[in-house]
Amino acid sequence: MNPSANGWIKKLIKEIAGNSFFLNLSEDEFYSALRNCGFVYGSNVSVVANVIDKNDFTEEELCKVNLLISFLYAYTKCNVDKPFIDSVVDFYKGINEHKTTFFGELLGAKNSNELLEKIINKRIQIDTNLLTKNFNYFIINAFLYVDILAYQEYLKNQSISINHIKNLEASIASISLDVLNSKKRKNQYDESLIKLLDASLRYQKDMLLSYKEAIKTIKNTTEKNYVLDLACMATWSDRKIDKKEQSFLTQLGNDLNINDERISQSIATVNYFYTIHKNDIALLSSKNIVHSFYDNSSKMVKKLITRNSKRLHKELKGSKELMVLLSQSTTRDLTEEEQKKVNEQLMDIFKSIPSLAIFMLPGGAFLLPLVIKFIPKLLPSAFDDNRIED
């Protein structure tokens, strides 16, 4: 199952059908699973509750999968006659009915599955720069769980409450941004998180709430836990929660009428999550932007080549000159003319494989050196006398 290709929703639902144990989890257990996989924090590192066993998904693909699984879990907890896919599509239509450009850009979908795939893909995109989006391993959308909470209300009431969503987003933003802006010193992560939190909001310009107003607005137990967890995430951005910050979180929990045990658990969980996964989240790692760019691009290229290895091998066999040049590139530097030939012929091959369309984007040619790095592994062993099988 490839979440970056058409038809992934239908395939995912089919795979889930044989492993639907997660539907038996309580709401609190499922929420904990969403938090443990990073969905609640906006930094997905695994599939929620290990519903499917996939290790090669990008963070963006994990985000898509976890979002859909969350919708499915919420759907099964309500007695609804409308088909699952149609209910989610109608939910998003209700939220975005005032935004004519949102669905205007999604015209052409042949069925509900295809339309939902486009909606989800558009929903999780914050960065409008396609190249940056694909290279950035730290694609975060801290408000995606708001969609799940709003969808639950939609299923119960069979209507969209825009005010509910506005109030929830405004309350979360007010508390989370207060945490970040109150810091005397802001690091790169803090500044980026402020921008990303702001970019995630749909109604940020409609209303501003004070801390006290925000607390009064949040009444649902799950919503309270979610707000506390996001506050913990924002507080941890400098890689530690000192006594003053812990005191703030405790006060926040008390104001939300959350018991001390749950407050301590929330702090401990965010500490554990970011300590374990700090190297997987670009802005928390010690790598500079160049290393981060190269490493994340390498992961993406390797994944694309692995998924299309058979088709690539078949296409390469039909281009003898390209095979020779690629094999020689492992032992010597190609001339400028030879490099141009390689670029042109590789681009022709990529055009024949839809899932490699990323290389057709402006600037996609910068990935070609990475492609060449992995391509030799697809060539016959006769081209590489020193090749050692893994």
Express each pLDDT in 203-215 by its tens digit.
555 556 788 888 9
Of residues 9 and 305, the one with the higher pLDDT is: 9
Q: Which has the higher per-residue pLDDT, 103 or 253?
A: 253
**Cα 302 from Cα 375, distance rounded (Å):** 9
pLDDT at 12: 92
Interval 241-248 mean pLDDT:
76
* 3-class SS of residue 353: coil
Q: CATH 1.10.3680 occupies which residues in the chain?
A: 161-286
| Residue percentage of the chain with pLDDT more than 70 | 64
Residue 43: the pLDDT is 84
Asked whether the predicted pLDDT for residue 386 surpasses 50, the reply is no
Q: How far, in Å, CA of 12 to CA of 65, rounded? A: 8
Residue 232 scores a pLDDT above 80? yes
Q: 170 vs 225, which has greater pLDDT?
A: 225
Q: Is the dihedral of CA 348, 349, 353, 357 positive or negative?
A: negative
Question: Which of the two residues, 226 and 58, has the higher pLDDT score?
Answer: 226
- 384 pLDDT band, cuts 50/70/90, is very low
Distance of alpha carbon 208 from alpha carbon 114, whole angstroms: 36
- 383 and 323 Cβ atoms separated by less than 8 Å: yes
Structure tokens at 204: 């940020």
Distance CA(257)–CA(297), nearest Å, equals 45
- φ/ψ of 174, rounded to 5, equals -60, -45
Q: Which fold has domain 161-286?
A: TerB-like (1.10.3680)
**What is the model's pTM?**
0.69
In whole angstroms, give the CA distance from residue 81 to residue 259: 37
Q: Residue 273: what residue type? A: F
Q: Which carries the bigger pLDDT value, residue 177 or residue 137?
A: 177
Output 193 or 363, whichever has higher pLDDT.
193
pLDDT mean across residues, the chain? 75
pLDDT of residue 325: 78
Report the C-alpha gap between 294 and 290 in whole angstroms.
6
Is residue 251 a contact partner of residue 243, using CB atoms and an 8 Å limit?
no
Q: 127 — alpha (psi -120 to 50), left (phi > 0) or beta? A: beta
* Residue among 279, 236, 186 nearest 41 (CA): 236
Confidence class for position 201, pLDDT limits 50, 70, 90:
low
The continuous run of DSSP H or E covering 272 comes out as helix 260-277
Q: What CA–CA distance (Å, rounded) separates 298 from 305?
A: 10
Mean pLDDT to the nearest integer, 317-327: 75
Using DSSP's 3-state secondary structure scheme, residue 249 falls into: helix
pLDDT for residue 54 is more than 60: yes
CB 190 within 8 A of CB 237: yes
Question: Is 169 within 8 Å of 203 (Cβ atoms)?
Answer: yes
CA–CA separation, 188 vs 238, rounded Å? 9
For 261-280, what is the mean pLDDT?
88
Would you state the pLDDT for residue 36? 95
Residue 180 sits at φ, ψ, to 5 deg, of -70, -45
Residues 6+ apart with CB under 8 A from 52: 1, 12, 15, 16, 19, 65
Query: Lowest mean pLDDT: which of 54-58, 325-329, 342-346?
Result: 325-329
